[in-house]
Amino acid sequence: MHLSKLSTVALLARGIQAAAVLRFGCSQIIVERLDPLVNPGDNPSPHVHQVVGGNAFSALIPQSDVSELANCTTCTFSEDLSNYWTANMYFKARNGTYKRVGQIPNRFLNGEMGGMTVYYTGAYDGSKVTAFKPGFRMLAGDPLQRAAGGVTKWNAICFRCYNAKNFGGDNYAPCADPSVDSVALPNKMCPGGIRTTIRFPTCWDGKNLDSPDHTSHVSYPATGTFENSGPCPSTHPVKLPQLMFEVIWDTAPFNDKSLWPADGSQPFVFSQGDDTGYGQHGDYVFGWKGSALQNAIDAGCFGATCRALKTQTFAAANKCAVPKEVKEDVEGWLTELPGGSMGM
Ligand SMILES: *[C@@H]1O[C@H](CO)[C@@H](O)[C@H](O)[C@H]1NC(C)=O
Ligand SMILES: *[C@@H]1O[C@H](CO)[C@@H](O)[C@H](O)[C@H]1NC(C)=O
């Protein structure tokens, strides 16, 4: 089924339709130990990330207009020179060695290689959202979180355990179905892989493009959620589009009981040394050209086609690359997580 039809049907079934939903695939641009948001200039940074988007990605991305620093992107929309990244998932075998878990690309398969699916959603009540400004950046989630609470109280970040049957046909609402969704890593084998959903804060203080912790210039709604049009707090009155990442970890090749821990625990761990999953996080550096993102949302675009935007084929997108800056093996089988088992 075509993606916009699928999503429209799913949303209409819930009686809700956001004004605009950009939903598009981005191929991997690099996997390496750099973090220009949290550890700018550090080469290497403490833990490995998987990165998609524009080719301005580097140990340090100047806080200027990134759309003028980059000249290509691995994403569908060629005016989106932003960078999007997350920690990586690793499999820890019973013998104690680690192997990086690959990613299943955007499930509608237009030619993406690894990477993730990015969403920008307009307001569900039809009110105005204000697109990010050049130099804007933010973090969702907390890499140090190891228990329920924190950002997880908004249900903003979760996993879905895919069984082979529902992969590709599951309902849209992430984090809402307790039979398959959890904030902790699923404690069982998932035959279709494990999906990560990361929803970013949707309210902005209107002044700061970043903040020392990369989160306090933005906020989740004061009450309720973005999906039910909860209001922004007075400290952060500007309503942003909702940025959401969808990453599908290809865990199925590791579903071999003889390699899983003998004590029945699950074997997956994030690159910052988190085997709980509560420390999932996502990083964003805005880099759309001019008013392209605002125009697309105002035009009510849906899915990965939008007349207000220029698109490129994945044959072209997959040529966009950045040089590898950190010379180390991140693919395994590794005796420790890159940067050390604590990964922080
Ligand atoms: C595109 O960016 C790369 C990397 O920054 C640079 O080497 C290259 O010269 C640029 N190409 C053009 C046509 O601007
Ligand atoms: C550990 O187990 C994995 C999975 O079976 C295997 O590929 C790897 O070679 C083993 N490494 C060592 C050092 O035994």
CB atoms within 10 A of CB 324: 12
Q: What is the DSSP letter of 30?
A: E
* pLDDT band at residue 165 under the 50/70/90 scheme: low
Q: Nearest C-alpha to atom 13 of ligand 1 is from which residue?
A: 71
In this predicted structure, the answer to whether residue 3 has a pLDDT above a threshold of 50 is no
Domain edges within the chain: 1-344
Q: Determine the residue of 333, 335, 336 to mutate for testing ligand 2's pocket, defined as the one with the most ligand atoms within 8 A of the Cβ atom.
A: 333
pLDDT tens-digit profile of 18-30?
Answer: 789 999 999 999 9
In this predicted structure, the answer to whether residue 274 has a pLDDT above a threshold of 70 is yes
pLDDT tens-digit profile of 194-207?
Answer: 999 999 999 999 99
Identify the pLDDT of residue 9. Answer: 42
The residues pairing with 285 across neighbouring beta strands, listed in sequence order, are 83, 137
Q: What is the DSSP string of 148-161?
A: S-GGGGGT-EEEEE
Rounded CA gap, 6 and 93, in Å?
Answer: 37
Q: What is the DSSP letter of 305?
A: B
| Residue 103 contacts residue 115 (beta carbons within 8 Å) | yes
pLDDT tens-digit profile of 123-132?
Answer: 999 999 999 9
Identify the pLDDT of residue 259. Answer: 94
Ligand 2 centroid–CA 97 distance in Å is 6
* pLDDT band at residue 12 under the 50/70/90 scheme: very low
pTM: 0.93
Identify the pLDDT of residue 172. Answer: 60
pLDDT tens-digit profile of 195-240?
Answer: 999 999 999 999 999 999 999 999 999 998 998 999 999 999 999 9
Identify the residues whose C-beta falls under 6 Å from ligand 1.
55, 71
Atom of ligand 2 nearest to the CA of 97: 1
Nearest to 290 by CA among 168, 133, 84, 70: 133
Ligand 1 centroid–CA 284 distance in Å is 22
Please return the burial class of 288, using the count of CB atoms within 10 Å of its CB with bins 0-12, 13-18 and 19+.
buried
Rounded CA gap, 120 and 234, in Å?
Answer: 23
Tokens of 169: 């046909």
Identify the residues whose C-beta falls under 6 Å from ligand 2.
93, 95, 97, 259, 333
Ligand 2 centroid–CA 161 distance in Å is 26
